[in-house]
Amino acid sequence: MKKSVFVKVLAILTAAVLLLASFAGCASNENTASESKASDASQTDSSASNVVYRTLDEIKSSGKIKIGVFSDKNPFGYVDENGEYQGYDVYFANRLVKDLGVEVEFVSTEAASRVEFLETGKVDVVLANFTVTDERAEKVDFALPYMNVALGVVSPDSRVIKSLDELKADDEVIVITGTTAETYLTEKYPNIKLQKYDTYANAKTALENGQAAAWANDNTEVIAYALQNKGYTVGIPELGSKDTIAPAVSKGNKTLLDWINSEIEALGKENFFHADYEATLAGTYGKDYEEKLVVEGGKVE
């Protein structure tokens, strides 16, 4: 009898051990599945976190839109003596804000920061004399254009540069980092020495101090500079291809892009951009440049 009882107890203990092992295995599988789901969720969240822009509805709900503009590029975007943003781009920005029904937060940007500010969500829109290029269009979404532009070169009257071929081996040309002028000269004229500056103010100071033979930039900028500063001439009014200036939003922000495009088309019907030119640029360029520069309603002639 004692041997029989021992055998029965041993059998019961063995069964219990097997049952516990089975429960442990199930628990382990459940934990693994949970960890896998958590990992998948984490990856989904990480992927979703790459979207940094605010949609049109989110901007309206917040009551404020953040617009990147220049603070030192008169007459397109600059801060006046009262600390207020002014200029052609700012005039347009204020109308967008009014029609959207929100407040505005202007964010000062430099040329090289425009794409980064959109990619990181620091601004919702860039209105900073932004030339449309294929390279930039891979990183941001451009709306319809509102201005024509080409590259130009300004130089001192003491030695007006009318062709880049006139530059000597030791001559240097000023450019702003992140501009189409920098890209164009680097690709098309790699032998030309470039002086690169982050701000327009520093570029102008360098030209005035005789640190370079010329300054290459948007022709609108160098023409304005020559008109406002005696002793300088735009010897090359058009360099390279003719391009356009347009607002830009973060890549994929379709709702905001569609609204801006509709706004530009609607503003064109009232000749808004001609009014903008006359209010902000006519004092610099006069009437002669108006039809050459203004793009009305997003339609390039």
pLDDT at 11: 53
Q: Return the pLDDT at 17.
A: 46
Residues of the chain with pLDDT under 70: 1-49
Whole-prediction pTM value?
0.78
pLDDT at 15: 52
Residue-level pLDDT at 5: 46
- 3-class secondary structure per residue, the chain: CHHHHHHHHHHHHHHHHHHHHHHHHHHHHHHHHHHHHHHHHHHHHHHHHCCCCCCHHHHHHHCEEEEEECCEECCCEEECCCCCEECHHHHHHHHHHHHHCCEEEEEECCHHHHHHHHHCCCCCEECCCCECCHHHHCCEEECCCCEEEEEEEEEEHHHCCCCHHHCCCCCEEEEECCCHHHHHHHHHCCCCEEEEECCHHHHHHHHHCCCCCEEEEEHHHHHHHHHHCCCEEEEEEEEEEEEEECCEEECCCHHHHHHHHHHHHHHHCCCHHHHHHHHHCHHHHCCCCHHHHECCCCCCC
Res 14: pLDDT: 52
pLDDT value at position 93?
A: 98
Domains, the chain, ranges and CATH?
Answer: 56-146+246-293 (3.40.190.10), 149-243 (3.40.190.10)
